[in-house]
Every structure is written in structure tokens, then in C-alpha cells.
Structure 1
Amino acid sequence: MTEGTTARVHEAEALFSQAFGRFQARDDVEAERVLRRALAAAPEHVPSLSLLAQIAGRAGRDAEAVSLLERVIAHGTTAEAAVAGLWLGAAHRRAGRTGAAIAAYRRTVERAEDAGLLNSLGVALKELDDLSGAAASFERAIGLRPGFVDALYNLALARRDEGQTDEAVALLRQVVARAPDLPGARFALCMAHLPPLYVDAAEIDRRRADYAAELDALAAYAERTDVGALAAGVGVSQPFYLAYQGRDDADLQRRYGALVCRAMAAGRPAAPLADPPRPGERLRIGVVCGYLRDHSVWRLPTRGWVEGLDRAQFDLAGFHTGALCDAETDRARGLFERFVQGPLPFETWLARIAEFRPHALIYPEVGMDPMAVRLAALRLAPAQYSSWGHPSTTGLPTIDAYLSSDAMEPGDADAHYTERLIRLPGLSTRFEVPAAPTSASRSALGLPEDAVVYWCGQSLYKYLPVHDGVFAEIAARVPKSRFVFVEFPGSPPLTARFQDRLAVAFAERGLDASNHCAVLPRMTPQDFRAATGCAEVMLDSIGWSGCNSVLDAFAHGVPVITLPGDTLRSRHAAAMLRTVGVEDLVCATSADYVEAAVTLGLDKAARDGLGRRLKAGLGGLAQADAAAALARRLLADAGR
């Protein structure tokens, strides 16, 4: 280093000290001015680059922050590069550029193999459903820093999502022992007992009992410590897969909901609530949802209600707690008089909702979006509703009523809910049938041209092992049958486990499942709809019925065979078929289901006739009075 260079570095260091003082005083404008002088003296002065990147990020100038951090990674020490890599990846992730974050983490790891970087890389990979890559990254982080709790926790979540239930539980017990106050760890331990797939019915019984015991242990822990300490973990892990066991979950959900509401309310003053509406005042209705985009929860039931409610009677606000946006988000934004876009911190959401002073809040789903359950667990409006975006009772005592479909509910459905069940007439909302894209070619999907294709495109966790035999029974009578499934996202081991189940069921009937079953890769929504059109028949999943996917089949004129059960979630397709006047595809027993599948698989004329009837009846799905029925209920509950 020359004498002149040394002098410039000393000048930059002196200026950096001044700038850092202004930064600590929250005077970012002056700090930035001084930092630019420092960088004019020494363009690659790493501390100045790092601090200026923080200021740029705080000001929302993400592109500039990214450029500055890239320079730190290139010119800094190993430790400086590692820190900059963490910041750079975080900046990309905040902007929704997960792929760019992964590239930044990997590039930095080549310079500085750091446990924190590897942990962040694993989190980003998991966001893109690369579970095996994520797990490998977490394991490398733990190898570098044994006992690294964050990486242990994240590895446990990856193993849970891969269906490695016992390993996930063991890892989470380590996490709780090492960091008993880590937000979310105790909830994650509880939910880890609910895997996505089961080998047989006996495993469901065992896992359900383990979950109940862990839930009771968590409630006991909350009683003897500070229940409010659990609040930060609410929503991080939820009992999403409980509903897929095919049982009545009201009691377990009631216990879970009581715990969650106690945790969220502990130490927090009650929120101010709106006064009853004055004569002539419009009812203020807030819709709180993480899926106000091209997602099943927005398409059904939410969009039809938002479009149909009379603005002369209702002032609607949309609180989109999710980060993802698309053309449907723009459509939603235009339908609400007020629209708040996430992601936002929890306290900010509380403030935005309080500013609106809603007379009622509707949560179209509770059980999927982490922020929605945190908000739903508090009393933020005089009346609070959930609905069948996730068709299971919430268990939350803060949710007053559950908005459901009379056509989909069985007669004794009230016992399935901790909320007051409201049976809106018919299908409860307007169903919008999507335009059918051109059907995918069979060759592109790897299917024989002469096969009898049965579309089974539901998420694999909807298929319970007790029903695996129906596919083999159909195959035994339809020799050219092909049952087409879609892989489990991010987890080849889970897909393989499902295929192993089918192999056993087919072998019991002397058949080779590989000759009859195909598993397609994940597809875009448009490609999924196109693939649906190549089928002769759609077999609705037994126990958890399809809904939006049934509409896709209807649009193509593909007959849908269904076997409704005794819960809302098993009866969507049956209600839709009855509405369009094709009740003969609604079966009473599994034997009827098999018989219908065989008949339609072998009789093209019968298929074509049913397809024409389906298309002719689609107008019935419009449910023109659905929003008016909801309006009457909201007004009645508000005392109008």
C-alpha cells in the first residue's frame, strides 16, 4: 500500500467514524453524505460500503443496497463477506427474489463457509420446496457449529415436511431442551406428530394420540409458566394436516384454539371495538386473508362474496396478509374500498384494522396463513367469522360463527364446529367456472394414447390409505386404465411412499401398479387445467373432496365421480354435481364408486352424454343470490 493510499484509507476511517455516530443518532441523511465522502477517498472501504448499504436498505433503495453488498462480498474479509451475504440474501427475500437470494448465499459460501449463511440458504431453498437441498444445507451448518439451534430447528421442519416424522420429533425435542424459549419450537413439536401421509389406518390412530398428548403437554407447560411467552410462536406451525386424517376434529381443535387465544391475549389490552352501526350507516366489513390472489381460497368462497355484497349497505376493506400478488390481487384491490397489502408486522396489522373500526371481520380461512390465525385469535371486531377456505373448525373462541354451504353440510354438522354454524343457501357463494384451456397432449404427459385416463390430481395428502384399494379394483376391470396423480411438492420420498402404498394395494389383487399409475411433476395452474382435459374421468378424492379442481373438470366436460362422507370437506363435489343436475355421479358406497368408474371408463357414449349434461348445467353454479344471503346474515347479526 502506497503512502497516498494509506492516507486515503485513514481519511475514510475517520469519516466512517463520523458517519457511524450520525447513523446511531438516526440522522441517515448526514450519515450518507459523510459516507459518500469516505468512499470518494477509498472506494472499496468495506465498513463504509456496509453502512451505506444499511442506510439504502432502510430507505427502500434495495437495488443500491444490493450493489453495495456485492462489493463488500468481493472486497471484504471472510467475516465481512459472511455478514454481507446474510444481508444481501435477506434483501432479495424481502423483495420476493428467493432465487436471487439462493444465488447470493451460494456465491458467498464459496468465499466464507459460514453456519449462519448455510442456515439462511437452507431456509430459502425450503421456500422453493427443495426440501432435500434445504436439509443438506442445515446439516452443513450444524457440522460447522454443533448445537446451532436455528439450524436444528429448521432441519426438523424440513424433516417434518419430508414425512420423516420420528426424526423431526427427536430434533425438536433437542431444540426445546437447548432453547426452551425459542418462539415456535413448542408448537412445531406438537404439529410434527401430524405427517402429510400415512402408511395405514393404524398409523393415523397412533399419530393422532401422540398429537393429543403433546397438545396437552403444551397446555400444561403454558399453565405452569407464562402463557404469553408462546404468543410469538402462534401461527408458525399449525395443525393443518389434522383435518386430513378424516376424523371429527372439534375436540382437539377446541383445545388448540383455547391455548392459542390465551397466548395471544396474555398481557395485551383489549382492542377497541366499533360501536353498533347507526341508522343509515353502512356496515364496515373487513376480509382478512393471506390468499387474495389466484388461489383456491380467493376463488372459493371469497371472491363471489366480495363481488356480490351491495356497496350501498357495506363498506369493504381487504387486508391481504400475504406477500404474493398477481392479476387476481389487482382484481381484489379494485373491489375493496380500502386495501392493505402485506407483508406487515403484526402490530401494524392491528393498527390498520383498528383504524377501519370494523363491525365484522371475515377470515375466509384459518389454519393456513400464519398471520391470519394470530389476528383471528384476538377479538378485533364485534362479530368475527371464518369460512371454508380451509374446511375445518378453527377451534378459536374468538371466532363467533362459521360461514358454510347448506348444500355441502350433512344434517348433523353443527357438532363438527366450535363456532355457530351458519348454513348459507345452496353452495354459499358464486362459482366462476374457468375457461377450459386446450387439453394437454397425452404424449407430452407421458401417457399412452389408448389409455383410459382417470384424473386423480388432488394433493397426495388427501388420499387416505383405507381407500387405496379402489384404484386396484377399477384397474382389474379396466385393463388399459391409467390413474394420474401429481407429485408431492419438494419431497420425492413422500411421493415414493405414496407409490409404495399403491404398489401394495395393486399387488394384493395380482396387479403391477407401475402399469396403471402415473405421477406427474408439479405444474402451473394453467398447465394443471390443461392436463385435466386429457382424462376420460375424474375420480374425486374420497374423504377430502376437490372443489376448484372439480370446476376445472366441469369446464372440460370431464365427468367427476364422487363419494361424499359425513363432513363438509368430503362433500364439495357432491353438492356441485347436484347443482348442475348430474346427481347420478354421486355415489353412496365405495362399491358404487368403483362401478361408476368402470362403467364410464369403458363406455365412451355414456361419458360424452354426461359431459354434455355437465356443461349444460354450469349456469346453476352462478348462485346469483349467494351474496344477498350473506348480506342478510351480516345485517341480522349486527342488529339490523
Structure 2
Amino acid sequence: MGFFDWLRRPQRAIAAVKPERELVDHEAAGPSQRGVELLRSGQMLAASQQFREAVAREPGVASHHVNLAYTLQQVGEGVAALDHLRLAVSLDPESLDARYMLAGALETLPDFEGAVEHVRAALALRPDFEAARIDLCRMLALKGDLVQARAAIEEAMTLHPSNADFHHYLGNVCVTEGQPDAAVEHYRRALELRPDHVQVIANIGSTLRIKGLYEEAIASYEQALKLDPTFADAHAKWGMTRKAQGRLAESEEAFRRALQLDPKNPDTLNEMGMVLQEQGKLPQAIEHYRRAISLRPDLPGGYVNLGMALDHNGQSGEAVDVYKQGLAIKPSHELHGNLGITLAKLGNTDEAIDHYHEAIRLSPDNLSVHCNLASALGDTGATEQAIAAYRDVLAKRPDFLMPHSNLLVYLASTGHASTQEYLAEARRFDAKLARPPEDPPVRRNLASGQPLRVGFVSGDLRTHPVGLFIEGIIQHLEPSKLELIAYSTVGQEDALTARIKPRFGQWVQLRGLGDDAAARRIRADEVDILIDLAGHTAENRLAVFARRAAPVQLSWLGYWASTGVSEIDYVLADEGCVPIGDEHQFSERIWRLPQTRLCFTPPATDAAPPVAPLPALQRGHITFGCFQRLPKITDEVLALWGEVFARLPDARLLIQSVQTGRAKAVEQTLARLARVGIASDRVTLRGPVPRDVYLQAYSEVDIVLDTFPYTGGTTTCEALWMGVPTLTLSGDTMISRQGEALMRAAGLPQWVATDRADFVCKAALLASDMPALAAWREGVRGRLAGTALFDVRRFARNFEEAVAEIWRQGAAASAETRSS
């Protein structure tokens, strides 16, 4: 939505040009006269038919074309009207009506260059034509020629000093030039000349809004609406102000009022879509964006907003189509950049990289696109290039938190930094976080038996590894012990969200709230323990934790290293992934849960195919599998796998990944495998598939080979549930020990290799005993259900006891501090 309005006059009645002049030449033939009479009686279609006849009889009379054009405009035939106006000007270049109406028609295209040319011609014919001078000022401004617009407005003010519109327009120009105080002065002068000028009053409000004076802006909109309650623009600007304040429900209501008054305003529909999207109301947002674009196909930002809403709503394929439609109309770096994001999500990384490069060409200083390009490079396995790209962005903008988080993810998961180097980088991230001077939240004095209030901050409470791990746990937490609040950082929801939502006392949408506002909201909810489920991964809100939103703050589940954030008190871990003596790897204190920090929610019975017999018994050879993201299968991993395959010449390999849906990735992966001695005739590569098809693929695999140092998590648990064990290599960090911790929690320590030589030996040994592998599958789900990795009830009790003890220790420490 534009900042201000310019009092557009898209259609001009000829009578408004020269009220004293008849609409037609009195010497014209009968059809023209009959057309005038019909026009005066409001019968536009019948009038247009008479004017058509007049043009047919006397095609060289300019006034016939002008009159026909006017009626055609009224009946919605703007293109035909434009043709007749052009012809009228060619027949009579000095026709004031033809020039002026053609200027208006061109403005609606919009063709401001042509519009300015013809309105200047109209003024040359009649210099005292005040309405045309108003239009010239507006057109120059809308054309973007502020120097000429200012000159035209100042000239008009000398010719027509009592006209409020020129002061109004000069105020608009001042706003565009970044002079809000000067703008308000001109608006106030316009109001002296015309006190009831509601548009000017609203523009004062908008000027105050961009200065951050939100309540003063609201007062201006209220003043405008008191004069004209039907003024849709004031309702819309009210909505924009409340949106800027994070008061989304009030904003939505204001936009609804505006749309009731002006239901076909594409700008308001677009703004309404953004407010709905920020509240997580994606289907409604999509509907509003579609309506906006249908009304104005070249709406700035319309295709970007619609594409983002579709993508977040799980309709990524449709989002790609929308972005491409927008690019066909008008290419922009936003469209190329967002299309790249969606393509990367769908596994089309090479095409995504092409669009990122095009976005950078159009907007070289857009550092967000550089970050997305770095991420895409990482997805192709170019980890060192990705890390270098993130560091380059941070060199240009050190306070940019997103690339710093991404850099930390890569450093933590790829082995490109020692634990000391990683922690130093995480502390540098922490030093950038804003910490407004506020008193820390007060600990509640809980009565005996009163539940702790625990908040979870996450963008992944859906079908995502975090959601898949937490679902069963949430279902078994006792409401009498823990009162749960979800703080979602994204609008996307799905079937898993719907299943867990009823277990939360509140479901709060943080999307659209700034860090200060989000922290205030959490404090107002009097949360006792706030748990971060994202770490440095996507959609994190670590800056909210830096504002000490709750008395106790923890990190758990969604990240595998220290956040570095000094206000996060604990990391929930276990002795397997963070053994005694490794506390120095974290800025947080370590709280070890019994047996495991992770507990997986198995797929529902109707969602998981039954465990299949061991495929090797029928095939006569072992098939190894890997279902992780391709970037985790590094050259170092492949080298170790190559040794395994050298020991087992009949073995086969199945790799299924999002990235292996690309022909280029398949070609590159086969070449990399060949270099380590694994020929292509021993390999099957598959791309992304629905989850049920993915789970079924485990029926073709005998053993899963883990990656390192970024070991499996969700895939390891899913493989176990499908009857396929994972051979994993132990490491020296939380993430590189994750595979080991999971297999031990599942009661399978024999599947953990201590070093690379052990990995090769174990692979050969375990693969050689097909009867044992086949026997292990028998009744495997019943056995796994009783292990720490899958027993969600047991884990829920352990979790409840852990957070209660953390709270008690904090209370004791707080009491000791007060007494001293």
C-alpha cells in the first residue's frame, strides 16, 4: 500500500473540463445529439451506440471520438476508449478535451510519461486549468520525478495559492524526500485552507507512523474517521499502524472495516493478507493475496507474498508457479530470491542457485540473498564455500544474526572448527544480542502442588524432526505437574500440530512480534521455565532468550551444540552425548537426563508399513542404506564406506535423499562413489518421496550406514522402527555422539564403532551374520517400545522430574542470595 494518496482522477467527464461548453459540436449530425441526450440521462451503453454511429458517419470529427471514448470508459471498455482518444488527438492536436482525457487514460495504464506529455499540452492550451495542474503535479510524483514534481507544485502554489491540494502534494513530496517534519507543515497549511480534508489528516497520521509515533498517528486517523466514517483509507492506515505495533488482531479488524467499504482495493487486500499470514492464518491470507493479484496483476509484492504463504502452507509446488508468474510480469530480486528458497526446499538446488545469482545481479547489496546462496552451496556439499560466504556477509554486516546462526550450524555439524573455536564463535554471537535495561522476571512463589508453567519456543511444532520427537512426550506430560504454553515462531501448521495443540494451555504466535514484544508477552504469561527447541537452526528466537523472558531458560532437542547465549541457563543432554568432562564445550550448564535426551514418537500403526523380512535372505547379498541429506555424506564418509564395500564385494547401496532428486546431484554422487571404489551398478539413488513411501523403502535395506561427524537422528530412529539397525561411528562432540547415544538408548551398543577401523570390521562382521539380522527383526517393535529411546511415558516422567529439580535448585539459590 502506498504511503499517501494523490487524489487520482482516472476518468474525466468532459463537463468538468469546461462546464460552460456543450459535450458536442452543435453542427454535428443527429446521432451525436441523441448520444448527448442519452448520456445526460445516464444511459451510457445506448449513448455509446449513438456515438459509434456518429464516428462511422464522420470519422474525421475529433469531438465524436472524444464523446465515444467518454462513454466507453463509463461502460468499462478502457482499451477501446484509449484508441479513440489517440485518434482524436491526431485529428485535432489542440482539442483540450482530447488531450486531458488521454492524459487520464494513460495514467491508469500506468503510462506516466505519456500522461505528463498530454496534460502539459492541455495546460499549454489553457494555462488557468487548475484541475489539470493538480493532475500534472500528481503524475510527475507518481512517475518518480520528484524534482519536476516539486517545481510544478511550487509554480501551481503561486498561481492558485488558496488550493489546498498543492500544499497536500508538496507534503507528499517531502515525505518521499525523507523530510517528515516539513511534510507535516505543508499538510497543516492544507488543513488551514480546507479543514475537512480527510486525506490530508490521514497523511499526517501516516507521517507520524513512519516516525514511530503510533498513538499520535492513530489519533489522526480517528480525526479523519470522525469527519468521514466511510473513509476506507483511514481504516486501512489504522490497520497498518496496529500491525507495526504488533497488535495484529486490532490490525485485522481495521482492515476488515476498510474492505467492507472498499472491497476491491488490491493494496488493502494485500496488507490484510500479510496480517493474516503473521497470525498463522495461511489459507485466509492466500485467499486475500489471490484476490489482490486478480484485481491488480502488477501489484508490487503481491506474488512474493502469495508465494511465501503457499510455501509456508506446504504448497511449495504452487509457490514456484506463482513466483514464476510474477517474474513473467516484472522480474525482481525478491521474486528470484524467494523462488530460490522454495526450489532449494524442493531439492532443486542447482536451479535455486541460478535464481540466487540473478537476485544478486539485480540487488548486489542484498545480504539475505547472499546468505541463501551460501545455504544452497552447503546443500551441494560445498561446505567450505558456504562457510566462507557466511563469513563474507558478516564482514559486511557484523550485526546480522541470521548468517551468524547459520555459520554456527555449519561449524557445529561439519567438523570445520574445533570445540574451542566453535564456542568462541558462539560467544561472539552472544555479544551481538541486544539486552534492553529491564529488571529480570520475578520467580513465582508456587503453592504446594501448583504446576510449573513451561513454555516451548519453536518453529518446528509440526511434521519436522523436532515435532516427531516431542509429540509423544507432550501427550504424556501430566497437566497437574506442568502447564504448557507453545510459542510458535512460524505460521505453518499441519496434522501433527493439530494433534499436539490440545495439550497446550495456550498456543501463542510469536511471528510478527519483535524480540522486545515477544519477551514482554512471555513475561506477562509468567512462564517459569522457557525452553528453546531451535538453537541456531531456522526460525530461532534466541534474541528473545537474551532478553531474559523467563526466570529459568533451557535449550533442548532441536540443536546439538552450545547456543552461546549467556541467558540460557542449561542444556538438556545425556551422559552418552555429553559425557562427564565435556562441559567446557558449552556456555550453558549441562543437565543430564537419565539414559537419553531424545525420545522418539513412533509413526502411528496405520502410517508405518509392517517390518519386512530381511531382504538379504532373498537376494543373497547385503544392501546398505542411507536416508540422510546428501551434504552429510562427505568425501570423508564415502572414503570409509569405500573400505566397507571393498571388504564386501557383493554388497549394494541405496541412498535416498531430497538432493538426489536432481539429475546433476545423481551424476556427481555416482562419480564420487566410483572414486572410492563403489561402482554405479552397485548403487541405487532415489529422490524425495512422501513419508509412507520413504518408510516402505526400509524394506529394501538390511543395514543403515551412519554419517559423521553429523550423525543421524530422526532417520536412525525411523530405521530402527522399520527393523533396520544403524552402524554408527562415535565422535567427540554432542552431534558426533548422537548416533551412539541413540543406539545405546535402544539397547544396541554393539552397533557403535569406536574408530574407523572398528567401523569397517563391525560392518563386515554384522553383515556376515544374516540369520542374526533376520532374527533381530522378529518382534523388534515390541522390544524397542520398552527401551529408553521409544518409551515416551518413562521419558515424560524423567522430563517432569528434571524441570522440577532445576526449578527447585534455582529457588534455593535465589533464597540463599536474598538471605546473604
Give TM-score scaled by structure 1 length: 0.75
Matched, 1:136 2:354: yes
Counterpart mapping for 1:64-213 below 5 A: 64-73=288-297, 80=298, 84-86=302-304, 88-89=306-307, 92=310, 97-114=315-332, 116-141=334-359, 155=373, 158-159=376-377, 161-163=379-381, 188-189=390-391
Q: Decide whether the 8 Å contact of 1:439 with 1:531 is kept in 2.
A: no
Match of 1:353 among 478, 502, 522: 522
Bigger CA drift: 559-568 or 495-504?
495-504
Q: CA deviation at 1:21?
A: 6.2
* CA 1:541–1:352: 2 relative to 1, 3 Å: same
The structure 1 residue matched to 2:803, chosen from 628, 634, 637, is 634
- After TM superposition, list the pairs within 5 Å mapping 1:569-608 onto structure 2: 569-608=735-774
8 Å CA contact 2:625–2:701 kept in 1: the answer is yes
**1:276 positional shift:** 4.5
Aligned-pair CA distance for 1:396: 1.7
Identify the range of structure 1 (122-131 vs 548-557) with the bigger mean alpha-carbon deviation.
Answer: 122-131
Alignment of 1:303-314 (within 5 A): 303-314=471-482
- Deviation track 1:601-621 (CA, whole Å, cap 9, x = no partner) reads 333212223334855632223
Unaligned runs of 5+ in 1: 37-47, 74-79, 173-187, 193-213, 223-229, 507-511
Please give the secondary structure, in 1, of the residue aligned with 2:730. coil
Which amino acid counterpart does residue 496 of structure 2 have in structure 1? E
Partner of 1:179: none
| Contact 1:235/1:369, CA 8 A, preserved across alignment | no
Residue equivalent to 1:315: 483
Contact 2:379 2:631 in 1 (8 A): no
Q: Distance in 2 between matches of 1:338 and 1:71?
A: 38
Q: Secondary structure at the match of 1:638?
A: helix
Preserved CA contact (<8 Å) 1:235 1:370: no
Among candidates 619, 636, 640, match of residue 466 of structure 1: 636
CA contact (8 A) 2:614 2:774 kept: no
Of structures 1 and 2, the larger Rg is shown by: 2
Question: Aligned partners of 1:155 and 1:571: how far apart in 2?
Answer: 30
1:482 to partner: Cα distance: 0.9
- Once the two structures are superposed, the pairs formed by residues 204-353 of structure 1 within 5 Å of their partners are 230=399, 233=402, 237-246=406-415, 249-267=418-436, 269=438, 272-300=441-469, 302-341=470-509, 343-347=511-515, 348-353=517-522
Residue 403 of structure 1 deviates from its aligned partner by 0.7
CA contact (8 A) 1:162 1:491 kept: no
Residue deviations 1:467-508 (CA, integer Å, cap 9, x gap): 4333223322322211222345376666655544432222xx
TM-fit CA distance, 1:585: 3.0
RMSD of aligned residue pairs (Cα, Å): 4.1
1:620 aligned onto 2:787? yes
* CA contact 2:490–2:509 (8 Å) conserved in 1: yes
Instruction: Name the amino acid aligned to 1:67.
Output: R
Aligned residue for 2:609?
A: 437
2:622 corresponds in structure 1 to 452
Question: Structure 2: where are the runs of 5+ without partners?
Answer: 1-67, 77-100, 109-134, 136-197, 200-230, 240-253, 277-283, 812-820
Partner AA of 1:406 in structure 2: E
Residue 475 of structure 1 aligns with which residue?
645
Native 8 Å contact 1:429 1:627 kept in 2: no
Aligned to 2:179: none
- Give the residue type in structure 1 aligned to 2:683: C
1:50 to 2:266 alignment:
yes
CA contact (8 A) 1:429 1:623 kept: no
Asked whether the 8 Å contact 2:313–2:493 carries over to 1, the reply is no
Mapped to 1, the partners of 2:780 and 2:668 lie a distance apart of 35
Q: Deviation digits for residues 118-164 of structure 1, max 9, x if unmatched?
A: 44444443444433323333444566677777766655554454455
Contact 2:391 2:407 in 1 (8 A): no
Higher RCO, Cα 8 Å, sep 6+: 1
- Structure 2 counterpart of 1:437, which letter? P
Q: Deviations 1:175-201 (Å, cap 9, x if unpaired)?
A: xxxxxxxxxxxxx335x8xxxxxxxxx
How many aligned positions are there? 564
- Compute the TM-score of the two structures, normalised by the length of structure 2: 0.60
Is the counterpart of residue 520 in structure 1 residue 678 in structure 2? no
Mapped contact 1:474–1:598 kept (Cα < 8 A): yes
Cα distance change, pair 609–626 in 1 and its aligned pair in 2 (3 A): same
Q: Would the aligned equivalents of 1:346 and 1:371 in 2 still touch at CA under 8 Å?
A: no
Q: CA deviation at 1:84?
A: 4.8
Cα separation, partners in 2 of 1:273 and 1:53, compared to 1, 3 Å: same
Distance of aligned partners of 1:513 and 1:268 in 2 relative to their CA distance in 1, 3 Å threshold: farther
Output the CA distance in 1 between the equivalents of 2:565 and 2:365.
36
Q: Tell me the CA shift for residue 97 of structure 1.
A: 4.1
Alpha-carbon offset, residue 404 of structure 1: 1.0
AA paired with 1:479? P
Q: Percent identity?
A: 23
Cα offset, 1:456, TM superposition: 2.0
1:485 aligns with 2:655: yes
